[in-house]
Amino acid sequence: MVRFFKGLVLLPVAILVVLLAVANREAVRLSFDPFSPEAPVFSLTLPLYVVLFVAVALGIVVGGVGAWLGQGDSRRKSRERRREIRRLEGETARLRTYAPAPETTAPYGAAGSRAALPAPR
């Protein structure tokens, strides 16, 4: 079902991208030299759709890097919590090996094999 909806969204987007590329085939000069507009030293002549696609791709990459850097605190907390969970699981397993065997009689009446915890000090 998700695959169907993904296709339902991506197919029109793909059609729009192809139409944009076909409609904007004219060559434009992309200049990287702001100081000499008449005869730039660093310039490329590319179709307009290539310039647009590269700009969009660069924006996606920069946005992804920014989001990744912004989530650093969350990833650090997650790593710390995973370490704490592993430590506590190891401690629990170690303590279970030293735990006394449960009594077969029910010392507290109808409670069965459950025992009350000692009061905190």
Residue 99's pLDDT band (cuts 50, 70, 90): confident
pLDDT at 89: 95
Residue 87's pLDDT band (cuts 50, 70, 90): very high
Residues above pLDDT 70, as percent of the chain: 86
Q: Quick one: tokens of 67?
A: 């989001």
Give residue 13's Cα distance to chain centre: 23
Contacts with 24 (C-beta within 8 Å, 6 or more apart), sequence order: 47, 48, 49, 52
Instruction: Average the pLDDT over 14-37 and give the result.
Output: 85
Q: Quick one: tokens of 112?
A: 């069965």
Interatomic CA distance for residues 115 and 105, integer angstroms: 11
- Rounded to the nearest integer, the mean pLDDT of the chain is 84
For the entire predicted model, the pTM comes to 0.59
Instruction: Average the pLDDT over 61-83 and give the result.
Output: 96
Residue 103's pLDDT band (cuts 50, 70, 90): low
